[in-house]
Structure 1
Amino acid sequence: MITHKKLPNGFVYIEIKNSAAEAKIALQGAHLFHYARVGEEPILWLSEVSDFETGKAIRGGVPICWPWFGFSEDKALPQHGFARTAMWDCVSCSEADEKSSSVILRLTHSQESLKMWPYLFELDLHVTISDKLTMELKTTNLDCNPFSITQALHTYFSLSHISDAVIKGLDKKPYLDALTWKDEVQEGDITFNQEVDRVYQEVDREITLYDKNRTLHVRNENSSSVVVWNPWIEKTSRMSAMNKDAYEHMLCIESANAFDDARVVKPQKSHTLKTVIF
């Protein structure tokens, strides 16, 4: 069942329920903020104090960073682009069978977007909800000129506790440490006992997240960069819409085209960033 819903303040979202899983997607930002398989705890972390208000990004779930990841050269522009707070249109909702439901949301250029990024575009997010979570972010260039994009599906995973988290699949991969701005190489598995903010490159294999109570896999296509982030104690205390202990129960593994993995999209061509979580 796919239902369009609205909070008392007017905030609109789509609720998906089938025999395999359930999910909720806000039209603002095409922001998937809930996904859980039937009989299981949510896979996505969502802040207990997150804002569900027009113009404010939701803290948790899967924010969409587009058409730039991080800050633009113009620091007056919004961090991680404008897609995550823009209103998207619902293009289609469908149910392949009782275990699989799909929603396609679309964002196109507007007078507001052209002030921040001077290109004509069509951006589609195709989400498939089943026992796997599949997200496909398709950028189509409707302009006369090529453009370059960096982007990310900024996925917040829910954890039993950060001390239990182990990431496999990034051993020997180079990364930029965003805390020191030094280039490093990963040695072994990733564990957490302090703030981590890294952009891995040359990623060509499945990533596995081990937690105390479950194991999750992340498989990406048309992406060779992955962001791993946990804000730890001090940064969490400074961040909006986060309780002071939030860092203990969340971890971001972001499927991306970031930094060296930026993509050029030629006129009338498309690029699709795809991730499957299972």
Structure 2
Amino acid sequence: MDFQQLNSDFGIPRQLEIIPGPGGMPMIKVDNGSARALISLYGGQVLSFQPLEQAEDVLFLSGQSAYTEGKAIRGGIPVCWPWFGPDPKGLQRPNHGFVRNHFWQLTKTEAVSDSETTVSLRFTDRFKQENTWRKPFLLMLDISIGPILRLKLTTCNTGNEPFSITQVFHSYFRVGDIKRVQVLGLEDCDYFDKLDQGIQKTQKGIVTVAREVDRVYVEAYKNLVIVDPVLKRRIHINSPNTSTAVVWNPWLKTSKKMSDLADTDYQRFICVEAGNVAFDLIQVQPGSQFSLQANYSLLPD
């Protein structure tokens, strides 16, 4: 990887540089007047977002992540596409699709202002020969680092036949103590409990976590809030083009089975994910496109 050339093409003085990360993987480091961020070209994955006034990162990143091709990085905001969860066709393809396990192409960077930096990545159909996804497509990811972290994932159907996708921004949020966290905005929503044979249930009151949780909420609200009394902050998640949301925490037993997660890491994160999953299946017609968007910010006290 020619980091000198990458910085010549895309670097922004005093705002953005491309650096070698763990395993030599190229990382985009942003440091502007609003926030610091780290984006991995492997997986097209935001690994860190920390507004300057925050003592702690908004995102959780496992210290035991594998930075190896073919393995996903544990934490940050992985992109799950063109399916979420297990292979929908049972062909033993990777969980959560394949784009989080390959390198993306950096296409553009821009200093919008002293306090906002944008990064554009793309992923093409060059992997469809792997028996992974035999559909012509172009995937574009636009990331804005400012007072608000904005993500926009656009799926373009470049072929002659429609195809369907599910997708999620699999966001890991750093919290002080999972047992004291509340998730607002899912009250009275129905959800599928993946830990109880996928049975459909109804959320009673505010979401709290006291054991392993793996739920897909349907007809979810487009504005959710994570209340963290330990770190004394409220994380706002806005997702205008979704009707489903995922809440996940592996708790201790499952964490012990995960080689890229420390046994006690579950205490320090919660996944609240914006996406189009379950019955929110997106069909993309030939020559058309669909965008998944998510905006992450900290609400004032």
Which category of TM-score, normalised to the shorter sequence, fits these structures? over 0.9
Does residue 250 of structure 1 match 2:265? no
Within the alignment, does 1:64 sit opposite 2:83 as a pair? no
Please say if residues 140 and 153 of structure 2, whose CA atoms lie closer than 8 Å, have aligned partners that are also in contact: yes
**Amino acid corresponding to residue 81 of structure 1 in structure 2:** G
Size of the alignment, in residue pairs? 278
Deviations 1:90-133 (A, max 9, x none): 01000110110000110000145552111000101111000111
Counterpart of 1:49, as a letter, is Q
Q: Is this contact kept in 2: 1:94–1:102, CA < 8 A?
A: yes
Tell me the percent identity.
Answer: 33
| Distance change >3 Å, CA 8–CA 222, structure 1 → 2 | closer
1:265: which partner in 2?
Answer: 284
Choose the corresponding residue for 2:106, options 87, 90, 106: 90
Structure 1 unaligned regions, length at least 5: none
Equivalent in the alignment of 1:16: 30
Partner of 2:7: none
The amino acid of 1:123's aligned partner reads L
Residue in structure 2 matched with residue 208 of structure 1 by the alignment: 225
User: 1-side partners of 2:222 and 2:38: how far apart?
Assistant: 29
User: Following TM superposition, by how much is the alpha carbon of 1:135 offset from its aligned partner in structure 2, in angstroms?
Assistant: 0.5
Tell me the TM-score normalized by structure 2.
Answer: 0.90
Matches of 1:81 and 1:12, distance apart in 2: 22
Partners of 1:188 and 1:255 in 2: CA distance: 20
Moved more, 77-86 or 199-208: 199-208
> Which letter does structure 2 place at the counterpart of 1:182?
I
Q: 1:131 to 1:111 in 2, by over 3 A?
A: closer
Matches within 5 A, 1:174-253: 174-180=190-196, 181-212=198-229, 213-253=232-272
Q: For 1:40-79, what aligned pairs fall within 5 Å after superposition? A: 40=54, 41-72=56-87, 73-79=89-95
**Residue 127 of structure 1 pairs with residue 146 of structure 2:** no
CA-based RMSD: 1.1
Assess if the C-alpha contact under 8 Å between 2:142 and 2:151 holds in 1. yes
**Equivalent position amino acid for 2:86 in 1:** F
Q: Which residue of 2 aligns with 1:275?
A: 294
Contact 1:123 1:138 in 2 (8 A): yes
Q: What is the one-letter code of the residue matched to 1:155?
A: S
Distance 1:275 1:8 in 2: 27
Q: Return 250-259 or 111-120, whichever deviates more.
A: 111-120
Shift of 1:43: 0.2
Distance 1:92 1:36 in 2: 22
1:159 and 2:178 matched:
no
* Aligned equivalents of 1:161, 1:45: Cα separation in 2: 13
Residues in 1 aligned to 2:171 and 2:270: alpha-carbon distance in whole angstroms: 8
SS in 2 for 1:259: coil
2:93 counterpart letter in structure 1: L
